[in-house]
Structure 1
Amino acid sequence: MKLWKTILAAAVLTFAAATSAFAARTDLVIGIPLEPPHLDPTAGAAAAIDEVLYANVFEGLTRIGPNGEVLPDLAESWAISDDGKTYSFKLHTGVKFHDGSGFSADDVKFSLDRARADNSVNAQKGLFAQIDRIDVVDPVTVKITLKNSQGSFLYNMGWGDAVIVSPKSADTNKEKPIGTGPFKFQNWAKGSSITLVKSDNYWGAPVFLDKVEFRIVPDAAAAVPALLSGDIQAFPFFDPDSVSQVKGDPRFHVVIGSTEGETILAINNKKPPFDKLQVRQAISFALDRKAIIDGASAGLGVPIGSHMSPANKDYVDLTGLYPHNIDKAKELLKEAGLEKGFKATLKLPPPSYARLGGEIIASELREIGIDLEIVPVEWAQWLDQVFTKKDYDLTIVSHTEPNDLGIYSRKDYYFNYDNPAFDTIIAKLNLTSDETKRKELLGEAQKILADDAVVGFLYELPKVGVWDAKLQGLWENAPIQANDLTKVKWTE
């Protein structure tokens, strides 16, 4: 009998050990190339902020899904008036912020009024320009009245810049973000990692993961060994040049999708000699997109001729407007009185697409007499010098915000572009909900930007994701700048 009990006990322990061994993991380490400057999506332009916090920690009235669709979020439903100017949002009940404070319509009003205020530091303040009035009907109902109907309003409310924050924590979200999402902030080890943990009091469907660490890996060469060793299990945005080192390995999924990342050679349009149309057009003719795509994105980027993703139904292919033509470029510089060329600076932020692309573009422009001094800068410097102070000649960056053609109409934007005809089209677009008319206006806007050679349109940034083959739920495409972990889980 004692022997039988011993055998039975051993069998139970063996079964328990086996069950534990095959239980799905609930932790995840994700590699990201850039550290956010802070952790408040409503107060910064850096994509790295949303890549950590969007849908995970912070939520909005609506949210953008993996296919770019508008989904309900904190608002469970809404009604739109016949004139398209009034939106009545019905909010979920039982929602709490991570500090335990309750969520209500008052928080929606506070957040959107804060975002559109005169002293707002929201990087996408234009999203809220059409809001005329916000009324709290009751704790779970908020009514938003627009100055004019706006076809993109529900989509705009799904941006990271439009997430809802609490008045109690709004001023401290940069260091200690407090939202309503399924994950709550645990720790930020500056220069190393940001850790989120599952919220036990989440109002919606619980997430599968208990803990997520966003590990900051700025060196692309370090990503491969970290992945191969299992130290990091996923890189949603992987260096294209490193794909060959993991492709074909059954331990990993290599997924190549699309983004909203228009990669451009940005030009300071008011700084001589770039204020001359012929100079900007000469630069566009000098650019060899294929060489840039091959060298900076391992051949995976898709050429663009305007500021819109080729995956967008309203995209107009204008890549043929400026074919690679050195003779034409030199001719235009001669017309501009710059036959002997000139010197300028090219400020490059850290991503490999910028640093690698910058070397190629400097070589190409040298062929037409433009001698570029390459100035590498960190993201904080880029945001301060280029984006904020407009202290630059040329720079390379991917604009990963969705449907952001309207940025070219902003008078304080770093392009320093000013064209009343373009502004008029954007103003009409903001008042138009008819899809056929919107498509027509978007086509006109793209054509103006291309004709004016406002920037050098290069390619659409590919989304190259590499992660453990047992992971499910990570996004294949990037319709917005996000790493939405709400559906991510490990399989057996």
Structure 2
Amino acid sequence: MSGPPMATPSVRMVARRSLLRRSAALGLVLAGGAGLAACGRQPVTTAGGPAGPPRRGGNLRVGMVGAGKNESFNPAQATSALINVAMCCAVFDCLLSITPSGRLRPMLATSWSADAASETWTFQLRQGVRWHDGTEFTADDVLYSLRWMAKPGNGMNANVAAVDLDHLKKTGPYTVTIPLKQASPLFPYSLSMAWIIKNKTTDFTRPVGTGPFVFGSLARGERSTCRRNPAYWDTGKPYVDQLTFYSLQDDTARLNALLAGEIDIMAQVPATQARTQLYGDLRLIRSTGTSAQCFYMAVDRHPFNDVRVRQAMRLIVDRRQLVDVALLGYGSVANDLFGKGLPYFDGALPQRTRDIRRAKELLAAAGHATGLTLNLRTSTVAPGMVEAATLFQQQAKKANVTINVTQVDPTSYFDPTRDYLKMPFAQSFWQGFYTLGDFYSSSVVTGAVGDETHWANKHTDALVAAAIAAPDARAAQAAWARVQAEQYDSGGYIWWGNIDNIDAASNKVGGLVPGPYQNLGLPTGLTEAFLAS
């Protein structure tokens, strides 16, 4: 596609009656359609929802940015799109999960403990859990899952990168002993988004999990359905009878569907819509947290293989303007590091600010005194990305840097079989990490599944390994400071904004509690949700 528009498409007023008449079976929203907006009413940006205890029944309909042919219930592919994460959270369970307050919560594991060195962990498994086909969940399923996650190309391999698979064993039908290649006091956090699959599973066409919902159907790029698991181990949950995900790439289409009452929840609300186009029977579900957006540069590709160019690009960007314009203030300024709010994040580093004079000096020293032309890839895969790309394009002109912006189809943007991980200059957003170790293991170490900057080298591998293995908080803070200092000084990421997670819901939706890690309160948010009518 050609370059992106200057802003999110405006929403035109259309009579509600006319829209509803034309939108049977989501025909309008699946096609894009015209917008629904009303004049003279103040937008609602506060929490709400039905009062009283959770109610049972109904079909909870969720509109999400689609992933087209890449939509899947295969947990190995979940990290490529938020819709896949939500689908896997519905059907599968992890050994444990993390609460909005950051505490670990038992799931398929009821307890866990480590030896004195944090090198060997023992997990006691929940008894009486049944797979959706009626068979019993046991330690064999966990052993198989951990080995399966470790395979190259599996999106969860960073979660088990520290596991010594050769010595992994069960010490009883409901006990698993997990030895590590190195000490890791925070290892259980790595398993809080690592879905357990049934022993010997190779096909996810009709996935069998232990989760709160049972797979119903999947029409890639359109919709998927799951029905309530009546035998779920967490007694009484979930509350709704059915969960339906609608795949809607276009932001306006998702808004139309919500306003028309054709979906109950809209995930990933763009800031422009959050600010101006939600009214009294709807509410925002907003949380601040660890999600962040960035531009990234492949450090092995010209001209970014010169650290001076990377440093110059970081001095060109006006982070405050990007947050104020691209996010409309729904976020905060970042400082070229991911993980604000996570344990051991280094908030003491000086806030990097725009310095065009110094940027020009660095570019001249790198042989680009007369200017530089770059091609930047972007997508509507996350709110604010296209707007940020367009604004960065304008900001760079002051430093004689020309940025040509190309917008990529969101259904393929994070597809590693296409251009993802091959783009020398592009945008990304990361969320859902509970420790710095998980993020850096996923992004910059050798073999990282999301090695966007092509940074991997033995020196960084050693720094990250030492930080993960740090025996106490003081040592961990110092070790992680070294990891972050390297990235802050010479890395390939330009982290410009910590983004709020923004969803919207009908006021008849209750129980959906925002969390700091992902949209929709994932991983357990939709399990807790209910419909008032």
Is the Cα–Cα contact under 8 Å of residues 68 and 479 in structure 1 kept in the other structure?
no
- Once the two structures are TM-superposed, the CA of residue 477 in structure 1 deviates from its matched residue by 2.3
1:68 aligned residue:
102
- Once the two structures are TM-superposed, the CA of residue 49 in structure 1 deviates from its matched residue by 4.8
Q: TM-score, normalised by structure 1?
A: 0.87
1:190 aligned residue:
220
Structure 1 Cα separation of the partners of residues 162 and 424 of structure 2? 33
Q: TM-score, normalised by structure 2?
A: 0.81
Structure 2 Cα separation of the partners of residues 37 and 260 of structure 1? 25
Say whether 1:348 aligns with 2:382.
no
Say whether 1:490 aligns with 2:531.
yes
1:308 aligned residue:
338
Deviation per CA, 1:371-430: give whole Å up to 9, x if none. 222222224543346987643221111011413133222356231114554333211112
2:37 aligned residue:
none
Instruction: Output the amino acid matched with 2:423.
Output: Y
Q: Equivalences for 1:78-477 in 2 at 5 Å?
A: 78-117=112-151, 120-132=152-164, 133-159=167-193, 162-168=194-200, 170-173=201-204, 175-205=205-235, 206-247=237-278, 249-317=279-347, 320-351=350-381, 352-384=383-415, 390-402=421-433, 403=435, 404-406=439-441, 407-410=443-446, 413-418=451-456, 420-477=458-515
Deviation per CA, 1:224-272: give whole Å up to 9, x if none. 332222111112421211013345x332222321243221101111101
1:28 aligned residue:
60
Instruction: Output the amino acid matched with 2:487.
Output: L
Deviation per CA, 1:34-84: give whole Å up to 9, x if none. 335322122453142553234421112111222332111101122322332
- Once the two structures are TM-superposed, the CA of residue 319 in structure 1 deviates from its matched residue by 7.5
Is the Cα–Cα contact under 8 Å of residues 224 and 245 in structure 1 kept in the other structure?
no
The 3 A distance-change label for structure 1 pair 309 and 211 is same
2:21 aligned residue:
none
Is the Cα–Cα contact under 8 Å of residues 255 and 266 in structure 2 kept in the other structure?
no
Is the Cα–Cα contact under 8 Å of residues 501 and 518 in structure 2 kept in the other structure?
no
Deviation per CA, 1:344-395: give whole Å up to 9, x if none. 2111133342211111112222332222222222245433469876432211
2:10 aligned residue:
none
Structure 2 Cα separation of the partners of residues 274 and 384 of structure 1? 23
Is the Cα–Cα contact under 8 Å of residues 308 and 405 in structure 1 kept in the other structure?
no
- Once the two structures are TM-superposed, the CA of residue 101 in structure 1 deviates from its matched residue by 2.6
Name the SS for the 1:382 alignment partner. Answer: coil
Name the SS for the 2:475 alignment partner. Answer: helix
Is the Cα–Cα contact under 8 Å of residues 27 and 209 in structure 1 kept in the other structure?
yes
- Of residues 179-188 and 72-81 in structure 1, the stretch that sits farther from structure 2 once superposed is 72-81
2:24 aligned residue:
none
- Once the two structures are TM-superposed, the CA of residue 105 in structure 1 deviates from its matched residue by 0.6
Structure 1 Cα separation of the partners of residues 474 and 487 of structure 2? 21
Is the Cα–Cα contact under 8 Å of residues 412 and 418 in structure 2 kept in the other structure?
no
Structure 2 Cα separation of the partners of residues 230 and 67 of structure 1? 32
Is the Cα–Cα contact under 8 Å of residues 281 and 506 in structure 2 kept in the other structure?
yes
Structure 1 residues without counterparts, runs of 5 or longer: 1-22
The 3 A distance-change label for structure 1 pair 246 and 362 is closer
The 3 A distance-change label for structure 1 pair 61 and 380 is same
Structure 2 Cα separation of the partners of residues 198 and 489 of structure 1? 12
Q: Alignment identity in percent? A: 22
Structure 2 Cα separation of the partners of residues 225 and 350 of structure 1? 17
- Once the two structures are TM-superposed, the CA of residue 476 in structure 1 deviates from its matched residue by 1.3
The 3 A distance-change label for structure 1 pair 217 and 319 is farther
Is the Cα–Cα contact under 8 Å of residues 344 and 373 in structure 1 kept in the other structure?
yes
- Of residues 301-310 and 386-395 in structure 1, the stretch that sits farther from structure 2 once superposed is 386-395
Structure 2 Cα separation of the partners of residues 399 and 428 of structure 1? 23
Instruction: Output the amino acid matched with 1:101.
Output: T
- Once the two structures are TM-superposed, the CA of residue 303 in structure 1 deviates from its matched residue by 1.0
Structure 1 Cα separation of the partners of residues 416 and 212 of structure 2? 36
Structure 1 Cα separation of the partners of residues 361 and 231 of structure 2? 66
The 3 A distance-change label for structure 1 pair 384 and 24 is closer
Is the Cα–Cα contact under 8 Å of residues 306 and 447 in structure 1 kept in the other structure?
no
Instruction: Output the amino acid matched with 1:372.
Output: I
Deviation per CA, 1:428-470: give whole Å up to 9, x if none. 1121241222222222222221111421111112111211223
Is the Cα–Cα contact under 8 Å of residues 271 and 393 in structure 1 kept in the other structure?
yes
Bigger CA radius of gyration = 1
Structure 1 Cα separation of the partners of residues 135 and 477 of structure 2? 44
The 3 A distance-change label for structure 1 pair 385 and 153 is closer
Structure 2 Cα separation of the partners of residues 102 and 292 of structure 1? 51
Structure 1 Cα separation of the partners of residues 102 and 388 of structure 2? 28
The 3 A distance-change label for structure 1 pair 437 and 255 is same
Deviation per CA, 1:262-312: give whole Å up to 9, x if none. 211011111011111110111111101122112221221211113333333
Structure 2 residues without counterparts, runs of 5 or longer: 1-54
Structure 1 Cα separation of the partners of residues 61 and 313 of structure 2? 42
Structure 1 Cα separation of the partners of residues 420 and 323 of structure 2? 29
- Once the two structures are TM-superposed, the CA of residue 343 in structure 1 deviates from its matched residue by 2.1
Name the SS for the 1:172 alignment partner. Answer: coil
The 3 A distance-change label for structure 1 pair 82 and 393 is closer
The 3 A distance-change label for structure 1 pair 24 and 158 is closer
The 3 A distance-change label for structure 1 pair 389 and 188 is closer
Structure 1 Cα separation of the partners of residues 157 and 291 of structure 2? 20
The 3 A distance-change label for structure 1 pair 389 and 252 is closer
Q: How many residues align?
A: 464
Instruction: Output the amino acid matched with 1:63.
Output: S
- Of residues 188-197 and 24-33 in structure 1, the stretch that sits farther from structure 2 once superposed is 24-33
Is the Cα–Cα contact under 8 Å of residues 224 and 244 in structure 2 kept in the other structure?
yes
Structure 1 vs Structure 2 CA RMSD: 2.4
